[in-house]
Amino acid sequence: MNQPTQWIDLRSDTVTRPTPEMRRAMAEAEVGDDVYGEDPTVNRLEARAAEILGKEAGLFVPTGSMGNTIAVKLHTTHGQEVICEARSHVMNYELAMMAWFSGCLARPIPTPDGILRWTDIRKEYRPLHAHFAPTGLIELENTHNIAGGVVTPKEVIDEICDEAHNLGLKVHLDGARIFNAATYLGISAAELCAKADTVMFCLSKGLGAPVGSLLVGTREDMARARLYRKRLGGGMRQAGVLAAPGLIALERMPQRLAEDHANARLLAEGLARVRGISIDPAKVQTNILVFDVSATGLESFEISRRLKERGVLANGISPSLMRMVTHFDVDRAGCERALEAMEQAVRY
Ligand SMILES: Cc1ncc(COP(=O)(O)O)c(C=O)c1O
């Protein structure tokens, strides 16, 4: 079979390409040396990100992983534990950075739905003890990627933050897709994150910018974070060319995320009708679908291969689980074509 020229790429929302407006903004960006704090476009992006998230200050970082790494470093000392959900990105997909850079051990808590609650966390919290490393930080992920784009509600985050703060602990929110969560809940990102000490969010996922993430928090924390960013090799000089599309992503793209959520729901409803695929469309809240393919008699990797032959890209995350992610480079018609391809792919 010939390979198609126009892929329907549902592997991730990281695959989005910059819009023509973003490309123009890159070409025209006003720049300076950001290591000296002199790039006006980066400064504008950081200030705007902090304002939108309701925090004092922001720091532009090349990736979400670097933002999370810096946050763990900010709030912990070597030899502490970081409580996180068992399927979290920070623990599973960031090359053990919390151990490598911050000398911390992850204390993962499995949950059925990807939502950490204070009752789960309280059981795993450890003060310093003759045998225990103390808890140094609580890390939350909203939306939760591998749990299928699941949203942690504001009340759950608020309770965790209140209880953590009573124990003298900080809370970092991996909000790579925080605007998807806010869209689902119908509240602002600032309201949703009001009590978190730091928040990382990505410009380069559903918001469509080519590169970049933001870490936001107190002015004092962001001044320290700037030094950790430099240590990690993230001092980016004339980074205004990257901040300029980021500003467009931040201002314009959150408003359209509901479209991606509707497409994800359409995909879920279609997949639920495909023989051997198990997914509950009612549980699809945002732009990520994780579904079980074991009853097709095929491993996810074989289904990926067959989909690719039909012009659709989607990854297996284990032999029995596959993930699809909707974004603004795949429209409703693309999702319908992906469903047709899936029906053919699982047929012998
Ligand atoms: C929940 C979550 N956190 C963090 C990241 C890391 O972002 P980056 O790929 O920019 O390092 C990702 C990336 O997929 C993610 O899904």
pLDDT along the chain (348 residues), means of 10: 74 96 98 97 98 98 98 98 98 97 98 98 95 97 98 98 98 98 98 98 97 98 98 97 98 97 98 97 98 97 97 97 97 97 92
Beta strands 8-9; 312-313: pairing state? parallel
Is residue 68 located within the same domain as residue 206?
yes
Q: What is the pLDDT of residue 6?
A: 85
Shared-domain flag, residues 60 and 154: yes
For atom 4 of ligand 1, which residue has the closest CA? 64
CA distance 156 to 274: 35
149 with 54, same domain: the answer is yes
Domain boundary among 252, 282, 311: 252
User: What's this model's pTM, rounded to 2 decimal places?
Assistant: 0.96
Same domain for 260 and 164?
no
pLDDT of residue 5: 62
Residue 169: half-sphere exposure toward Cβ, Cα within 13 Å:
27
- How far apart CA 46 and CA 234 sit, in angstroms, is 15
Residues 222 and 285 in one domain: no
Do both 237 and 98 map to the same domain? yes
* CA-proximal residue: ligand 1, atom 8 (nearest): 64
Q: Report the distance separating Cα 259 and Cα 293, nearest Å.
A: 26
State which of 201, 202, 215 you would mutate to test the pocket of ligand 1, scoring each by most atoms of that ligand within 8 A of its C-beta. Answer: 202
Q: Could you tell me the CATH number of the domain that includes residue 320?
A: 3.90.1150.10
* Residue positions counted in the chain: 348
Q: Residue 66 CA: which ligand 1 atom is closest? A: 11
| Same domain membership, residue 166 and residue 309 | no
Neighbours of 231 (CB within 10 A): 11
145 within a domain of the structure (yes/no) = yes
- Tokens 């970049």 belong to residue: 212
Residue of the nearest CA to atom 5 in ligand 1? 64
Contact 277, 342 (CB under 8 A): yes
Identify the pLDDT of residue 243: 98
CA of 246 to the centre of ligand 1 (A): 16
93 CB-near residues (< 8 Å, 6+ apart): 65
The answer to whether residue 21 sits within a structural domain is no
Decide which of 231, 252, 273 is a domain's last residue.
252
User: Is 22 inside a domain boundary?
Assistant: no
Backbone angles phi, psi at 39, to 5 degrees: -95, 110
**Domain contains 139:** yes
What CA–CA distance (Å, rounded) separates 123 from 239?
44
> Distance between CA 316 and CA 302 in Å, rounded?
9
3-state secondary structure of 227: helix
Report the alpha-carbon distance of residue 42 to residue 31 in Å, rounded: 8
Coil, strand or helix at 261:
helix
| Cis preceding linkage at 63, omega within 30 | no
Top mutation candidate among 89, 116, 323 for ligand 1, by most atoms within 8 Å of CB? 89
CA 343 to chain centre: 29
- Strand locations in 26-72, DSSP E? 57-61
SS3 317: coil
Final residue of a structural domain among 198, 220, 252: 252
Task: Return all residues near 209 (Cβ < 8 A) that are at least 6 apart.
Answer: 18, 22, 203, 242, 245, 246, 248, 249
Q: Has residue 247 been placed in a domain?
A: yes
Q: Report if residue 24 sits inside a domain.
A: no
Residues 55 and 144 in one domain: yes
Total number of domains in the chain: 2
- CATH number, domain at 242? 3.40.640.10
Residues 301 and 173 in one domain: no
- Distance (angstroms) between ligand 1 centre and the Cα of 292 equals 23
Distance 64 CA to ligand 1 centre (A): 5
My answer on whether 245 and 269 are in the same domain is no
> Which ligand 1 atom sits nearest the alpha carbon of residue 174?
3
56 CB-near residues (< 8 Å, 6+ apart): 50, 217, 218, 219, 222
Whether 192 and 49 map to the same domain: the answer is yes
Backbone angles phi, psi at 134, to 5 degrees: -75, 155
Distance CA 117, CA 196 (A): 14
Determine the structural domain holding residue 209 and report its residue range: 31-252
Is the domain of 133 the same as that of 275?
no
Ligand 1 pocket by C-beta < 6 Å: which residues?
A: 63-65, 68, 89, 141, 145, 174, 176, 202, 204, 213
Q: How far is the CA of 215 from the centre of ligand 1 (A)?
A: 13
Which secondary structure element, helix H or strand E, spans residue 332, and what is its range? helix 332-345
Q: What is the pLDDT of residue 4?
A: 58
**Counting atoms of ligand 1 from 1, which one is nearest the CA of 62?**
10
The best mutation among 205, 211, 232, 286 to test binding of ligand 1, ranked by most ligand atoms within 8 Å of the C-beta, falls on 205
